Amino acid sequence: MSCSTLQSLRYGYSPKLPVMLRDGVGSVSVTEGEKTHSESDQEKIKELFPNTYGMKEVYFRKGDSTAPARKHVIGVILSGGQAPGGHNVIAGLFDAMKASDPDNILLGFKGGPSGLVNDDYITITADNVAAYRNTGGFDIIGSGRTKLETDEQFQKVAEVAKKHGMTAIVIIGGDDSNTNAAVLAEYFAAHKLPIQVIGCPKTIDGDLKNDDIEASFGFDTACKTYSELIGNIMRDANSAKKYWHFIKLMGRSASHIALECALQTHPNVCLISEEVQEHGYHLNQIAESIASSVADRAKMGCNFGVVVIPEGLIEFVPEVKKLIAEINDTLAASGDKFAELIDWDAKMGFLTAALSEESMDVFNILPLDIQQQLLMDRDPHGNVQVSRIETEKLLSSLVGKKLAEMKAEGRYSGKFSTLHHFFGYEGRAAFPSNFDADYCYSLGYTAFCLIAYGYTGYMSTIRHLDEGVGKWEAGGMPITKMMDMERRGGHDKPVIKKALVDLEGAPFMYFAKHRKKWALETCFRYPGAIQYFGPSELCDATTITLQLEKESRS
């Protein structure tokens, strides 16, 4: 019996590289573009990054390398939530390093930034990498959410780097981790330490996106995985014709994942948090609009449908946003006092005394399990863990109440049976699509080219992602270019601006144009599973978001 598995077959996949990288690092030349400036707050950011601000944009071309020959010991970390393709960033980095000099060494620090601070590492070998090529997950070295931001941590990292003779560190992470990469690069430059820092844009959420980063890696695979699942549910719904499915999708604050999945599958309803915020829609209004879609379909004999809800929605509903902010302040100010209260009535007493009357009214209309979820521990950044709040259940119960009222008034006579789903972890460690496998490998390869040419404080970039790999362009962009000043935890901080869904952007506009029809009719699309082998138009297709963004630019 043959025992080929997708895993074993994927080990043999050769990720495609942009043309300028295909002949190996010895044949990559560099061109510098214009000096860069930050998104906004230029004077302030220049002052905070005196050694790494204003550097030039970098492009790689085919040509003889002029990078100085030098042995490298590079440390790499994976930071934050898993995103498909992380292993390939490491594989691309490893292959480029070894192609440049077989004696180069790659150290993988375990469990995210804390591994770097605590000098917990493995030496990455060819055998190691071979066991993880083109696979999902971050298990080659693990990941973590420790923030790398204090001088004390930087000092420890410097000691670890000195001990190993490290020349560079590659940080594979989201907006916050890349912000910290820029701060670390500035710290090393200010202390005249010869350690370069390069970032790679990771997150399924798709919110690390700007003029220079067309997409973060993992978004493509995660959306395709969720779209397959949603499509399967739609087909089941359209067969059984008896359930309304409420599906919450990961993505933290931004609704990019929900929007892309809606474009892929055409649900009856897809909420977009950014739109809810823009119009200040209240919970009541959101429930009413879903209920009206349910009632309209019921008139046509369709007592089934699909509602897609972005994970972070709850934080964008004005009254809940206010409630969460008040709970955050109350929990932060109470120290351990609140956590020590075991009895629910005692907790309620505490909250009633601390929250405004308006917020307490909102809290009181929420079902008990949602109330409890809102009081759970915050993440290390002090944020509510939105992935753990069952917004899908909250909304379906509010819609149920609305429909009951409509029934009593004779305005609705259908059946409303609901099922709930939350898709998040199902997609974060999936086998990367060809797009993510190629993109990630290219990001890792490019990261080494940036290091070889001596750059620090840069993010590895691949442009023209909406075209085939043959047209991709490898390069680097100073991270400070992507920054602005934001108020975080009571202080003004330089950060990479998080990209939320642009309500005037082509993907949202397309959705807005079609959603009325999708709400009433059954227009479901069934994308099926990600294809790894077969015709290129199937296997290498990008997201609809990227395609629409491209069309709107051309």
Interface with ligand FBP (CB under 6 A): 80-81, 83, 174, 203-205, 250-252, 311, 386-387, 424, 428
Q: Is 205 labeled as catalytic in the residue annotation? A: yes
SS3 call for 26: helix
Q: Confirm if 445 and 96 have CB atoms less than 8 A apart.
A: yes
Sole residue written with tokens 């009413």: 288
Measured over the CA atoms of residue 358, residue 359, residue 361 and residue 366, the dihedral's sign is positive
Instruction: Note the helical H segments in 101-208.
Output: 113-117, 126-130, 151-164, 175-190
Comparing CB distances to ligand FBP, the nearer of 173 and 305 is 173
Q: Confirm if 128 and 161 have CB atoms less than 8 A apart.
A: no
- The DSSP annotation for 523-542 comes to ------SPP-SS-HHHHS--
Residue closest to 182 by CA, chosen among 35, 77, 48: 48
Cβ 499 to ligand FBP shortest distance, Å: 12
Cβ 121 to ligand FBP shortest distance, Å: 21
Cβ 338 to ligand FBP shortest distance, Å: 22
Supply 403's token pair. 């429909």
Comparing CB distances to ligand FBP, the nearer of 249 and 485 is 249
Name the CA radius of gyration of the chain, rounded. Answer: 25
Comparing CB distances to ligand FBP, the nearer of 84 and 267 is 84
Distance CA 144, CA 443 (A): 21
Question: Which residue in the list 95, 175, 176, 205 is annotated as catalytic?
Answer: 205
Q: To which H or E segment does residue 90 belong? A: helix 86-100
Cβ 89 to ligand FBP shortest distance, Å: 14
SS3 call for 183: helix
Comparing CB distances to ligand FBP, the nearer of 57 and 214 is 214
Cβ 311 to ligand FBP shortest distance, Å: 6
CA dihedral of 40, 46, 47, 49, whole degrees rounded to 10: 120
Comparing CB distances to ligand FBP, the nearer of 105 and 483 is 483
Comparing CB distances to ligand FBP, the nearer of 95 and 315 is 315
Q: Please name the residues in contact with 233: beta carbons below 8 A apart, sequence gap of 6 or more.
A: 245, 247, 306, 421
Cβ 296 to ligand FBP shortest distance, Å: 32
Beta bridge partners of 75: 107, 169
Residues taking part in catalysis: 205
